[in-house]
Amino acid sequence: MPELPEVESIVRQLQSGHRDAPPLPGMAIAGVTLRWPRHIAAPSAAGFRRRLRGRTIQEVSRRGKYLVFRLDQGFLLIHLKMSGDLIVQEAHVRRDRSERTVFRLGGGWELRFNDARKFGKVFLVDDPDEILGPLGPEPLDPRFTPAALRGRLAARRRVLKPLLLDQTFLAGLGNIYADEALYRARLHPRRMSHSLTTTEAAALWKGIRASLRSGLRHNGASIDWVYRGGDFQNYFRVYGRDGEPCRSCGTSIERIVLGQRSAHFCPRCQPERPT
């Protein structure tokens, strides 16, 4: 699933444009082709088409894993889920079979929501807080301090790795960056959140921000067909490296399942019981 760095990389391309496509702000939406109407979570598919026609995109931003399109009236929110990607393409280029929702723009361009597994969701709302309100803080926000993280950890009695994946606890982290952050912090993924000391919570804060910033520098990670253009996958320290040697101590990276999600860690660098 695209996480904060992957979504932010897409946002930057859509907001500023790139060599192969113009920026989206200022473009009007002439219409929408729904090849998979279940993409539309709110309003109804018919209402979505009607309300979106003629709207102008003013800004593209991100909140957690959501792309946020501020329109001249209302907000368009897109969650890429498991396999989503957004591509600006010239209208004459043949559409891929996985391009489920297509926004027809001015000047002969289209914004195409490519979603092979069909899990993505699209919302058209007047107030983005209707959808985004429950999300936790942004981990790269200057207001999110080590003390703030320590307080949130202490208030919950939960296993660390699943807690970091909870978007109401912290917005934008997924499997990749949670594993990488815990490794940097030298914390076992099975540690209980309330057991962390002030020093350990500060290390986790640093690990989260360092992992995300590294992902952003590399435009995210490209895994399978889910996301294109990033190369952070070449710099993973533990994620997806089970059986391979730890880059610090040489111990084999292990993989366990917590809350139906995988967790990768070094048993020597990240002991389950702190020494």
Integer Cα distance of 254 and 178 in angstroms: 15
Strand ranges (DSSP E) for 14-136?
29-34, 40-42, 57-63, 66-71, 75-79, 84-90, 99-105, 109-115, 121-125
162 labelled catalytic = no
Q: Rounded mean pLDDT of 242-248? A: 97
Q: Rounded mean pLDDT of 263-271? A: 97
The CATH class of the 4-132 domain is alpha beta
Residue 159, exposed/middle/buried by CB under 10 A (0-12, 13-18, 19+)?
middle
Cβ(63)–Cβ(145) below 8 Å? no
152 labelled catalytic = no
Asked whether the predicted pLDDT for residue 274 surpasses 70, the reply is no
How does DSSP classify residue 77?
E
Residues 23-42 have pLDDT tens digits of 999 999 999 999 999 999 99
Residues 34-64 have pLDDT tens digits of 999 999 999 999 999 999 999 999 999 999 9
Asked whether the predicted pLDDT for residue 228 surpasses 70, the reply is no
Q: Rounded mean pLDDT of 172-187? A: 97
Q: Are strands 121-125 and 40-42 parallel, antiparallel or unpaired?
A: parallel
2 labelled catalytic = yes
How does DSSP classify residue 92?
T
The pLDDT of residue 19 is: 83
Q: Which two tokens stand for residue 123?
A: 């919302």
**Domain residue spans of the chain:** 4-132, 146-265
Q: Which one of the listed residues 35, 156, 255, 261 is annotated catalytic?
A: 261
Asked whether the predicted pLDDT for residue 83 surpasses 90, the reply is no
pLDDT band at 227 (very low <50, low <70, confident <90, very high): low
Q: Which amino acid is at 249?
A: C
Q: Rounded mean pLDDT of 236-247? A: 97
Q: Which one of the listed residues 3, 8, 110, 180 is annotated catalytic?
A: 3
Asked whether the predicted pLDDT for residue 225 surpasses 70, the reply is no
- Residue 148, helix vs strand vs coil: helix
pLDDT band at 226 (very low <50, low <70, confident <90, very high): low
Q: Phi and psi dihedrals of 57, rounded to 5?
A: -80, 125
Q: What is the mean pLDDT of the chain?
A: 95
Asked whether the predicted pLDDT for residue 195 surpasses 70, the reply is yes
The pLDDT of residue 82 is: 84
Q: Rounded mean pLDDT of 230-241? A: 93
Q: Rounded mean pLDDT of 193-221? A: 96
143 labelled catalytic = no
Q: How far lies 131's CA from each of 6, 66, 80, 134, 232, in Å? A: 20, 10, 14, 7, 29
Integer Cα distance of 202 and 89 in angstroms: 43
Integer Cα distance of 93 and 105 in angstroms: 14
Q: Which one of the listed residues 51, 55, 63, 65 is annotated catalytic?
A: 65
pLDDT band at 70 (very low <50, low <70, confident <90, very high): very high
CATH architecture designation of domain 146-265: Orthogonal Bundle (1.10)
123, 124, 169: which is closest to 144 by C-alpha?
Answer: 169
182, 181, 197, 22: which is closest to 110 by C-alpha?
Answer: 22
Report CA Rg, the chain. 20
The pLDDT of residue 176 is: 96
How does DSSP classify residue 253?
P
The pLDDT of residue 248 is: 96
Concatenated DSSP letters for 186-252? T--TTSBGGG--HHHHHHHHHHHHHHHHHHHHTTS---TTS--S--GGGG-SSTT-TTSBPTTT-PB
Asked whether the predicted pLDDT for residue 189 surpasses 90, the reply is yes
Paired residues of 124 in beta bridges: 76
